[in-house]
Amino acid sequence: MPVYLLATLDTKGDEAEFVRSRLRELGVAVVLVDTGCLGSPTIAADIPREAVFRAAGANLAELQAANDRGRAVTLAANGAANVVRAAYDRGEVTGVLGLGGSAGTTIATTAMRALPLGVPKLVVSTLAAGNMRPYVGGKDVQSLYSVVDIAGLNRISRTVLDQAARAMAGMVTLPAAPSVATDRPLVAATMFGVTTPCVQHARQILEAAGYEVLVFHATGSGGEAMEGLIADGLIAGVLDITTTELADELVGGVLTAGPTRLTAAAKRGVPQVISVGALDMVNFGPPETVPAQFQGRLFYRHNPTITLMRTTVAENRQLGEEIGRKAAAATGPTAILLPRHGVSAIDRAGQPFDDPAARDALFAGIRDTCGRVPLIELDQHINDPAFAAACAEQLLTLMAKARPAR
């Protein structure tokens, strides 16, 4: 099977030809996809740009006449994703390699994110030394910093592009690591530092019951990755202890997982236990990065690079209503467990974020919107072993009910 090589051949033709040649020298078949639009391609593609835009439902000539670069990039990204996914579904893709600046990176990584976990994905990008999260999403996309702009072949660009070709060749030709024989179903769990004791204890119970537990760090990208694996049908149950990313999305923190957080299990009918871990906080960087609009709020310096801000009573009410609505929309077994004595390590009696009124508002919002979803309130702190055990046992019960009869 070939590697699909994506590049805008009006501006990156020489570089794409260099990578294609190196891959072929390394024994790898290549399908070159032209994702350019406005200029003229400098080399021939195996899949021309007309086919890419046609896959996005667009007409290349009309786009060229409009001369709208932003729209062209968006459609090229959608078209490339459709082309690559269709080829993968036909069993014709072994890996995807892309080259580019901001436009080329957007196009290539959109196509990569259309593929499942495990398919080699590598982008050589001028942006790779910065924040790549918008391009990676929750997928296993790897990036290689181009060091110089991808604008001609020189001693630097040839070195980097050669590394990319050799890396991709290795990923698609070398034997994969031996798989570990297991038929244990997968459970996804969410954890933050301030909810670690809860998740670790629950994990032990689930693993003793025969499940393999994947723990996702609730830092935005972690929640996004988990939602993606659930949507892909790989997860048998969800222990969503730490829903803190919802607070960052609502208030404007830096660790949001986006508006679709807490929706994949609901849509697929995957059994899930939901709790309210770390909803007492919104995450920012160092103190000087906190937006001025939050002056006067209660803060806690978690470490030199992370500043936590306590969520208010009103914000907790909104968060509770959101959780209740999303839980009520679930098509599979769902339960919500609430710890009355605190939702994080710093939200308990004597700790900086202890706020019974905020917790009451959070819980009230859930009660008012969760409909028929079972709501279990316990006189415990989220990190108490008894609360962790209750969450794990509840999920085991839901998964047992959902398991098809033999």
Q: What is the DSSP string of 114-157?
A: TS-TTS-EEEEETTTTS--HHHHTTS--EEEE-SS-SSS--HHH
Give me 341's structure tokens: 């004595």
Task: Match 């470490």 to its residue by tokens.
Answer: 303
What confidence tens digit (pLDDT) does each residue in 370-391 have?
A: 999 999 999 999 999 999 999 9
Cβ atoms of 132 and 126 within 8 Å: the answer is: no
DSSP 250: H
Cβ atoms of 313 and 361 within 8 Å: the answer is: yes
* The pLDDT value given to residue 70: 87
**Mean pLDDT over all residues of the chain?**
94
Phi-psi region of 286 (alpha: psi -120 to 50; beta: other; left: phi over 0): beta
Structural domains in the chain plus CATH codes: 3-173 (3.40.50.12020), 186-402 (3.40.50.12030)
Cβ atoms of 123 and 142 within 8 Å: the answer is: yes
What confidence tens digit (pLDDT) does each residue in 260-301 have?
A: 999 999 999 999 999 999 999 999 999 999 999 999 999 999
* The pLDDT value given to residue 145: 95
CA distance 160 to 129: 14
**Residue 1, Cβ neighbours under 10 Å: how many?**
15
Read off φ and ψ for residue 282, nearest 5 degrees. -120, 140
Amino acid at 36: G
* The pLDDT value given to residue 359: 98
Task: Match 């918008």 to its residue by tokens.
Answer: 134
What confidence tens digit (pLDDT) does each residue in 88-141 have?
A: 999 999 999 999 999 999 999 999 999 998 999 999 999 998 888 889 988 899
* The pLDDT value given to residue 404: 58
pLDDT band at 62 (very low <50, low <70, confident <90, very high): confident
* The pLDDT value given to residue 181: 58
Read off φ and ψ for residue 272, nearest 5 degrees. -145, 140
* The pLDDT value given to residue 405: 45
- 60 Cβ partners below 8 Å, 6+ apart? 37, 49, 50, 53, 54
How would you list the strands of the sheet with 3-7, edge to edge? Answer: 30-34, 3-7, 95-100, 121-125, 142-145
Residue 404 pairs with which residues in a beta bridge?
none
* The pLDDT value given to residue 223: 94
CA distance 171 to 113: 17
* The pLDDT value given to residue 303: 86
pLDDT band at 302 (very low <50, low <70, confident <90, very high): confident
Helix (H, G, I), strand (E, B) or coil at 278: coil
* The pLDDT value given to residue 63: 85
Average pLDDT over residues 343-350: 96
* The pLDDT value given to residue 159: 96
Residue 315 pairs with which residues in a beta bridge?
none
* The pLDDT value given to residue 182: 67
Q: For 273-384, where are the alpha helices, taking DSSP H only?
A: 313-328, 356-369
Position 321 pLDDT exceeds 90: yes
- What is the CA angle 129-132-135, rounded to 5? 140
Give me 295's structure tokens: 């002056």
Q: Which of 104, 76, 134 is nearest to 15 (CA)?
A: 104
Helix (H, G, I), strand (E, B) or coil at 34: strand
CA distance 259 to 189: 19
CA distance 64 to 66: 5
CA distance 306 to 324: 29
- What is the CA angle 37-38-44, rounded to 5? 55
Position 220 pLDDT exceeds 80: yes
Position 406 pLDDT exceeds 50: no
What confidence tens digit (pLDDT) does each residue in 129-174 have?
A: 888 888 998 889 999 999 999 988 999 999 999 999 999 999 999 9
Average pLDDT over residues 3-24: 96
For a pLDDT cut of 70, what percent of the chain falls above it? 99
For a pLDDT cut of 90, what percent of the chain falls above it? 85
Per-residue CA distances from 188 to 46, 238, 345 (Å):
40, 5, 22
Axis-axis angle for helices 313-328, 356-369 (nearest 10): 30
pLDDT band at 16 (very low <50, low <70, confident <90, very high): very high
Kindly report the pTM of this predicted structure.
Answer: 0.80
